[in-house]
Structure 1
């Protein structure tokens, strides 16, 4: 893994672009190249390159509305005499902090360090916050669970037409934004499943309501996966000592309905299902302490079914 600090990207990619943009704006406002060089702390030759368009830089910053607005504001201030170098530096530092918060700098960082993709990295903004660690761990768990399913042969047969999703909540979840899942769901294609994107918080209302209902009854349950209802799979659950819970497919509020059924049972079963209704595809939820736990149970049930 290549360790690249965001500050390296600021120096190598952002700063040359900002200087080139600012040099051009100051020249447009009537400053000579020598005056621009003095304002920016660079040589006149460098300013000449910037103004001619040969100064390099990154279009991501040139096209970023916030960057453009800040550079215009600094150029107006320096050219008009109501902003000094300290003020300009303050503006640029505030801009860098903003661009590191899921902005172009963050995007560049994920490109040069692919290991950061899908982790919802907020290190530049929030540092080693324990909440950030928890979010990262949940996102990583959902990603691993999805890959576990994708690697299991025969899983495509159990993906419903509406798609499958893998979800996991943070500790003490309040609502759907505390549950991470795969945006756009997972669909079967050509006998295998495709994972369309990295997990995100708030990406699935469908699986998150099931997790929130389960967690309200059993705080140790944080993960769930929805699959198609299948008689052999339910029989496999019986084989491994799980008593699946059947619930009504027609309900006004899935979360309330499931929570009530779990409370009636007195526990959250590892497997809960319905057999569908008019316009409603049969669905089964497999629960676990984590998303990976739920995925491993599904692979175990598939093994039981295929060994029969």
Structure 2
């Protein structure tokens, strides 16, 4: 009997461990440290770094690489082994919950896709979303230079449940992120405390369900140039003068043709120009913000 747990262990984990090893090694960890963290022998780490592993189908490999990159960032940021295991396990379960892996698991196990979907029909628990967003928020507030990117209307950082149906399915920062005594400050995330950013994730989720997190920052020529230097895909829209619901739909529609890292809203009369950074999860968004800050600082240094 080939259960989902066996599928993950046999078909996904060897490739995922290999990619984790690659990202951690490029991030400065030694083979011995990687082996201790991942529970592998140094010989196995060396084998993985030499590219000696079997790859899953292309679409699956892409998702696993994204999970490995997020997990490696978390580890390199100082996350504990226990929390790293929880984070990566959740990401793997999400791939089954969303139905993405059901095609591949069904072929492996010899069952129907419908049977797979029935196993993982329960949405991720709200407490887990709050926990992950809170941790990512702490990382965000520690980034030097973030405070200078907070707009006049202040920033918000949001993270949605899988397939959110309303703003109540989106966690965000109550009162938004502001600057206190020269430093960014935020209250712990809660559900149902955001309208616009939550509405964006609900609407975009209908088009790109993998996009579940967003952070808004100030706009400006320097920010747009930095986005380009950082290699991020950005698209421009204009919502000035539109009702809130229509503005949300206008931004969400740009995801119909292709995914984007950022959307630059030109604003308009009474509407502050804004940049929205999007990602599959909050750590993905934090990483993009970090790259943006680095690009801005490098430009000043030149």
TM-score w.r.t. the length of structure 2 is: 0.55
Deviation at 1:262, TM superposition (A): 2.4
Counterpart Cα distance in 2 of 1:184 and 1:258 = 23
Match of 2:175 among 179, 184, 187: 184
Larger radius of gyration: 1
Tell me the secondary structure at the aligned position of residue 287 of structure 1.
strand
Counterpart Cα distance in 2 of 1:165 and 1:291 = 12
Counterpart Cα distance in 2 of 1:201 and 1:291 = 15
Counterpart Cα distance in 1 of 2:124 and 2:173 = 19
Consecutive unaligned residues in structure 1, runs of 5 or more: 1-129
Mapping of 1:64-143 within 5 angstroms? 134-143=125-134
* Residues 1:268 and 2:263 aligned together: no
Deviation at 1:132, TM superposition (A): 8.3
Cα distance per residue 1:222-279 (max 9 Å; x no partner): 000011112222212212322311111222222221222322xx12311001122111
Give me the CA root mean square deviation: 1.7
Alignment partner, residue 202 of structure 2: 212
Counterpart Cα distance in 2 of 1:161 and 1:294 = 20
Match of 1:199 among 186, 189, 199: 189
Deviation at 1:133, TM superposition (A): 5.6
Alignment partner, residue 235 of structure 2: 245
* Residues 1:173 and 2:164 aligned together: yes
Counterpart Cα distance in 1 of 2:136 and 2:156 = 10
Tell me the secondary structure at the aligned position of residue 255 of structure 2.
helix
Q: Contact (CA 8 Å) 2:208, 2:255: kept in 1 or not? A: no
* Residues 1:233 and 2:239 aligned together: no
Q: Contact (CA 8 Å) 1:224, 1:291: kept in 2 or not? A: yes
Counterpart Cα distance in 2 of 1:240 and 1:151 = 20
Deviation at 1:201, TM superposition (A): 0.9
Misfit runs of 4+, over 4 Å: 130-133
Q: Contact (CA 8 Å) 1:217, 1:268: kept in 2 or not? A: no
Alignment partner, residue 274 of structure 2: 283
Alignment partner, residue 54 of structure 1: none
Consecutive unaligned residues in structure 2, runs of 5 or more: 1-120
